[in-house]
Amino acid sequence: MGGTMRALVKHCAGFGAELREVPIPEPGPGEVLIKVEATTICGTDVHIYTWDEWAAGRVRPPYVFGHEFSGEVVETGIGVTHVAVGDRVSAETHIVCGSCPQCRRGEAHVCLNTEIIGVDRNGCFAEYAVMPAENLWKNPAGVPADVASAMEPMGNAVHTALSGPIAGRTVAVIGCGPIGVMAVAVAKAAGAVAVIALDINEYRLELAQKMGATHLVHSGEEDPVEQVRTITTGYGVDVVLEMSGNPTAIRQGFAMLTFGGRVSMLGLPTRPLQLDVAEEIVFKGAQVHGIVGRRMYETWQQTAGFLASGQVDLTPMITHRFSLEDYEQAFAQMMSGKSGKVVLYP
């Protein structure tokens, strides 16, 4: 295709980013070029933008960052048969090797050699992006570009919620950022009898209510463990979906869990934490699941199904939209804590 494009570049080992003109990437064998129609900001992107300890140890500027997007296939490389020019697609952002033991046993989401776009290689905060064709999910006509972009993080919510039985269970969702509020909606759609949303941010709790939470607990103003026990008539909650990564909230999550319950953990603590393993896991007979990415591509099928059926509506949690040029406002909105999903339009 040739030419240049506008792209948001993580330009230095420090705060911020720069909008630059960079070459349009060329698709190699098995790859496609996608015209980006919408891209959504993830918490990971905020880590990179603000240049925290995790980002300093992981990413290597300068490069184009961003990893959640949707768009239209405009060029295909040699050997591509899965998608064609004109297809509208979302992207599975984990590029896997296909040959490690995990990949070969059907567990590619924990591939030993995973590379993530926008983290380990150039990403999608740009007018165009290149992806392996096998990483693309074709969307039917009529799926809005912002919803299609949010399918990737929604997949995290689906994977977390559905990593064990949920129908007929009581569920606590700890941390009501965008993925947390999507997990609320998924748990409700999957048949949970109660979905308890916990956060210290009133704005996010209101979003959780819009997405289907049956109970709200403001953990900064009331004892969340006692509140959950009251809601569950003293027994504790059957399922905890831990989305916050906050050490205190994690300990509270284990404390509110019923005996024989499940904790599925997506949130990433910024430091090691202490937990009474004997009392909160072993003697409780608890199941603890670590969640990374999305099952490829079982989770994508479930995610697309929830959206197509209307059982999950992402509209309430897509709260702000900006042009790529207004990226500073977009990241400020994300960092304010008063947003759901923030969309950038190239």
Q: Looking at the annotation, which residues are catalytic?
A: 44, 47
Q: Is 68 annotated as a binding residue?
A: yes
Q: Is 124 annotated as a binding residue?
A: no
What's the chain's Rg over C-alpha atoms?
Answer: 20
What is the DSSP annotation of 29-71? TTEEEEEEEEEE--HHHHHHHHT-HHHHHH--SSEE---EEEE
Q: Is 199 annotated as a binding residue?
A: yes
- Please report where in the chains the tokens 């380990």 appear, as a residue: 120
Residues 6+ apart with CB under 8 A from 217: 196, 197, 198, 224, 227, 228
For residues 280 and 257, the answer to whether their CB atoms sit within 8 Å is: yes
Q: Is 207 annotated as a binding residue?
A: no
For residues 257 and 184, the answer to whether their CB atoms sit within 8 Å is: no
Residues 6+ apart with CB under 8 A from 134: 30, 82
Identity of the residue numbered 83: V
Largest CA distance in the chain: 64
Q: Is 67 annotated as a binding residue?
A: yes
Coil/strand/helix, residue 27: coil
For residues 262 and 164, the answer to whether their CB atoms sit within 8 Å is: yes
CA–CA–CA angle 116, 119, 122 (5° rounding):
90
Q: Is 176 annotated as a binding residue?
A: no
Q: How many CB atoms lie within 10 A of CB 259?
A: 10
User: Rounded CA gap, 47 and 65, in Å?
Assistant: 11
Q: Is 179 annotated as a binding residue?
A: yes
Name the DSSP class of 117.
B
Whole-angstrom CA distances from 223 to 25, 213, 227, 249 are 52, 18, 6, 11
Binding residue positions: 42, 67-68, 97, 100, 103, 111, 179, 199, 204, 266-268
What residues are designated binding site for Zn(2+)?
A: 42, 67-68, 97, 100, 103, 111
Which residues participate in the annotated binding site for NAD(+)? 179, 199, 204, 266-268
